[in-house]
A = this chain, B = another copy of it.
Amino acid sequence: MKAEIITIGGELLDGSQVDLNAVYLGSRLTSLGAEVVRISSVPDAVDDIEEATSRALERADLVITTGGLGVTADDRTKQAVARLFGRKLVLDEGVLEKVRARFEARDVPMPEINIAVAMLPEGARSIENQRGTAPGLLFEKGEALLFVLPGVPVELRSMFESFVSPFLEGKGLRRLAQERLIRTTGLAESEIAERIEQLARRLARTDVVYLPSATGVDLKVIGRGQTSVEATKTAEKSQEKIAAKLGSYVYARGDESLEKVVGYLLSMGGSTLSVAESCTGGRVGWRLTRVPGSSDYFKGGVIAYSDDLKKRLLGVKASVLKKHGAVSSETALMMARGVREKCATDYGLAITGVAGPGGGTKTKPVGMVFAAVAGGAGERVRELRLGGGRGSIRRAACQGALELLRRFLLNIEEPG
C-alpha cells in the first residue's frame, strides 16, 4: 500500500516550525507496513490543498492530510476537499451538540464561530476528536482512502491511534517491514559502500539506508515480508550478513551509543576509567556521563587545555613537550599514564590535537589528533587525520578516542 502525507500550514513552509506531524505519521504508517512515497507541505489555501490532495490520490492508495481543520480564517482544508469531491458543506447536528457540550462542561458559552466546526462535507464519514473540537473526516474513493486529520499534535495522535490505525489494520495492513540498526565508526560512507554494496544488492526483500555523520556511519537495514515474523527474520538475517562484512568496525547492532558500549565493557571487567582531554575540552567526559549509572566505572579526569596544566595536573614532562610538542603520541601517552595515576583508575584515556581553525603547522596540520589509552597490562596510541571544521574535528576526535578504548578493552587490533 502506497501512502502520501500532506501537511497544511504556512508555518511549515517559512521555516518557523519543524514538521513533527510528518515524522509521526511517516513512522506510524511505515510500521503498519505502508510505503510512504511522498510528504507534501502546502499553505492554508484552498487551491493548493485541493491540487496536492488530488495529485496524491492519483499516485497513492492512502492519503492523510493534517492541519487546517480549525475555525480561524486560515483553516481551509474542509472547503478544499469538499470542492475536490464536489460536495457541499452541511451542518452536522450531532457534531454541533458535542462541541456545545465541551464548552458547557467548562461553564463557558460556545462562541458562534464554532458552528463552523460542525459544517462537514456531505456524505463524508466523521471521526470523533477526543482531544479537541474539530472532527476528522474519512473519504473512500474507489480503492483509495483519504483521511483528513487535525494539525494539533495531541489531537492528531489520538485520532490516528484510536481510529486510523485500527481501521487500516482491519483493511489488512500489518507490520510488514522491520528495521535493524548497525553502527560503525572508522570507515567513510564510500568505504562501507565498497564493502557491502554487492551483498546489499543480492539480499532479498532488504533495503539498506546510510546515515553518515562526523562520528561514523549508521546503517538502517529494512527487511520486508508477507508477515511480521517474516519481516523480522529477513531484517535480522540481513543485519547479520552486513555486519559480518564490516567486522570490527561495527560497535553496536542496535541503537546503543559508543559511550554506552564502552561503559558496558568497563562494567563487565569491574574496571574504572579516567580521561585527560586537551583539544576536546571535556567532551569525552560529558559523553561518558550521559549514561545513567556511569559513576560505577567513570571517575572523572583532567581537562588539560594549556601546556601548563598538562605538566601541573598530569605530570607530562617539560622535556617531552619541548622535544615532541603538545600534539604528539609521546604527550598523549604521558597524559593517559598521568591521569590514570592521579585518579587511581584502571585505565586512563587521553586526547591531544589541533582542532583549528588556527594553530596548524606543516608537520602538525589542523585535524591531526593523537589519542592514547594506558592500562595496567599495556598501552596504545592512535593517530587521526580528521577533516571538516573545528566542531567536526573535535567530535570525531572524541569518537576516535572512545573507539581506541573499545578495541583495547576487547583486545581487537587497531585498523590497518
Q: Residues of A at under 8 Å CB distance from B?
A: 10-20, 22-30, 36-43, 48, 52, 55, 70-74, 102, 105-107, 111-114, 131, 152, 154, 179, 188-191, 193-194, 197, 200-201, 207-212, 220, 274-275, 277-290, 292-295, 298-306, 308-309, 312-313, 342-344, 355-358, 385, 387-392, 394
Contacts and interface: CB of A to CB of B under 8 A. Distances in A.
Which of A197, A301, A312: most chain B Cβ within 10 A? A301
Contacts of A106: 385, 387
Contact of A73 (B13, B112, B193, B358): B193
Given A72-B189, A220-B16, A313 B300 contact: yes
A300 B306 contact: yes
Contact of A111 (B26, B48, B191, B220): B191
Contacts of A290: 281, 390-391, 394
A390 to B, nearest CB: 6
A397 to B, nearest CB: 12
A137 to B, nearest CB: 20
B27 A14 contact: yes
A79 B11 CA distance: 32
Contacts of A207: 10
A275 B282 CA distance: 10
**Oligomeric state, in copies:** 2
Contacts of A308: 299, 344
B292 A209 contact: no
A114 B190 contact: yes
A305 B313 contact: no
A52 B38 contact: yes
B342 A313 contact: yes
Contacts of A305: 285, 289, 294-295, 298-300
Given A15-B26, A71-B190, A309-B343, A43 B37 contact: yes
